[in-house]
Amino acid sequence: MNFTLVSADATKAKADVLVLPVFDNDLSGKKSTAQALLRADKKLKGLLLKTAAQEGFKGKADQTFVLQTHGKLPCARVVLVGLGARARFTPEVLRLAAGRAVKAAGRVKAKTAVVQVPVVRELDYALRAVVEGFGLGAYRFERWRTQHKDNGSAKVDKVQLVLPDGLKKEKAHDEVLALAREVVGATNWARDLVNEPAGTMTPRVLAEEAKNMAKDVGLHIAIGDRKKIEELKMGMFLGVAKGSVEEPRLVHLSWIPTDAEAAKQAPVCIVGKAITFDSGGLSLKPSDSMMDMKTDMAGSAAMLGAMRVIAHLKPPFPVHGFFGACENMPSGHAYRLGDVLTSRLGKTVEITNTDAEGRLVLGDILSWANEHKPAALIDLATLTGACIIALGNYLTGAFGEDDQLMFDVLEAGRTAGEELWRLPITELQKDALKSEIADMKNAGERAGGAINAALFLKEFVGETPWVHLDIAGPSQSPKERGYFGKGATGVGVRTLVELVRRRAAHLQAHAG
């Protein structure tokens, strides 16, 4: 999708659709800041606002209205998308509206669109929101369709963004659009990885995808096989991988600045969960619960998508990405209930549930990542159903004890439009992981399940500033909503990119 930015009158631009985001009070026509809306309505002899009102369009944040112009405007149709109350506006509201707009455009077979950027306080974030909303909203996973059905998939390939009246295009705006395009491409790629069936997105294939991406953007990558995992004494990782005929893979991506001093900075390390299929092992899941378990590698997909953008950001400090990929399968070789596994850190773990496998692999990978002495360590994992019960399908659970890093991650998520909610990680729950024969159990009681999982991971990060993001809910959307379609969301990519971008800006400002 090609995006351009101009200073012009949007109602004079020629395209298949003219998209006008409007606040609820813009429809009164009295104190409206949406001048393009008023001009369009005037050229349509008052028909736009009148018909919209008749159809019940009030500018609410979930509303969309489409009107044919019958030649009275250069655009064949006008698409109004509601932004709700101005006082409650955030860039995410605009991002969701842009997603609705591109889907509406797709339904009328539009190929070109003109979008009037609304008058808001932070223009750069509004520009990013429109580009990301359009790019993410146009996404469809159709690799396995032998015939592309007429399912309303967007075909828009050219989008012209029009600045609010009185504003001129600046060079910095091009950089904003470029970043947004990179984020869209990386997020949609991450969605492809997650949506791909587990039979074709095996640990080996996931590692190959990482290798190809690293080569394309200039990242260093090291890929280890079972022998390497054994050399690193990752007993928990090996235990989970035992049950599958698919060979595990250990992947380490890195961005290292060319400047010698910058390369010496303490790195940011990102770890993603990469269980390419989770049957539950011998603690077998019910069929309904197993159906979506191809998505159990969404954390690694988010890490990969973020690293793809980070390579273009070129931050003045190293950034490392890690994942251990394997399947969790039942077989005569699978690890058993009651087994004791020895982690890379030397801690022993009694297995009380083979379906609590993600934390086992993550524990070994976190230990390994922590050996790189990071300034910040973040992991993303579709870790617990308990987090979905607590927060639903659209909120990420955030765990960690370092207040500064937690604040940075939460702010990055808020700015990026990926909402996170801090949950407690308390020693009061630690007894749930107490084992009678080993240092700890891998699973405790159902109560506080998401906290128990976070406490388990905490054992492998020491005193390093660390945040664990449980993305079990928002890793996939149960329905179409805004720029989401049903399926993988690529959640985490935007938050990680924003975190690294902000950290780089902070360091550069202090260096200056």
Query: Which of 128, 359, 501, 503 is the catalytic position?
Result: 359
What string of DSSP letters covers 134-146?
A: HHHHT----TT-S
Bridge-based pairing of strands 340-342 and 220-224 is unpaired
Task: Compute the distance between CA of residue 441 and CA of residue 415 in angstroms, rounded to an integer.
Answer: 37
Residue partners of 185: CB distance under 8 A and separation at least 6? 135, 308
| Residue 184 identity (one-letter amino acid) | V
What string of DSSP letters covers 409-432?
A: HHHHHHHHT--EEE----GGGGGG
Is 285 in the active site? Answer: yes
DSSP, collapsed to helix, strand or coil, labels residue 65 as strand
Give me the phi and psi of 99, to 5 degrees please.
Answer: -65, -40
Query: Which of 285, 347, 430, 502 is the catalytic position?
Result: 285
What string of DSSP letters covers 454-511?
A: HHHHHTTTTTS-EEEEE-TTTTEESS-BTTB-SEE--TTHHHHHHHHHHHHHHHHHHH
User: Residue 277 belongs to what H/E stretch?
Assistant: strand 274-278
Task: Compute the distance between CA of residue 179 and CA of residue 308 in angstroms, rounded to an integer.
Answer: 12
| Catalytic center residues | 285, 359
